[in-house]
């Protein structure tokens, strides 16, 4: 298995369909943005590809 090209993607559960993301934090992050899941139960940050999933329990 080629692990060199694998990218570890971060996932975060959310209790709200509206989330904010600023990357990994500090100088390694990106500008803080606000995302709205709309009709779906998940959304991916266009900067860092972090996946936000609506917690449905």
pTM of this structure = 0.78
* pLDDT number for residue 25: 66
Q: How many CB atoms lie within 10 A of CB 3?
A: 5
Place of tokens 């904010």: 20
Write the DSSP string, 10-45. PEEEESSSEEEE-TTSGGGS---EEEE-TTSSEEE-
pLDDT of 8 above 60? no
pLDDT, tens digit (0-9, with 9 covering 90-100), for 10-45 = 899 999 999 999 987 667 789 999 999 999 999 999
Query: DSSP secondary-structure letter at 54?
Result: E
Fold of 11-54: HSP40/DNAj peptide-binding domain (2.60.260)
How do the domains of the chain map onto residue ranges? 11-54
- For residue 1, pLDDT over 80 is answered with no
Residue 49 has pLDDT above 60, yes or no: yes
């Amino acid at each position: 298995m080629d692990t060199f090209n694998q990218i570890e993607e971060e996932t975060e559960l959310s209790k709200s369909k509206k989330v904010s993301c600023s990357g990994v934090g500090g100088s390694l992050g990106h500008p803080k943005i606000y995302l709205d899941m709309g009709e779906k139960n998940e959304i991916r940050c266009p900067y860092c590809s972090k996946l936000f999933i609506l917690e449905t329990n």
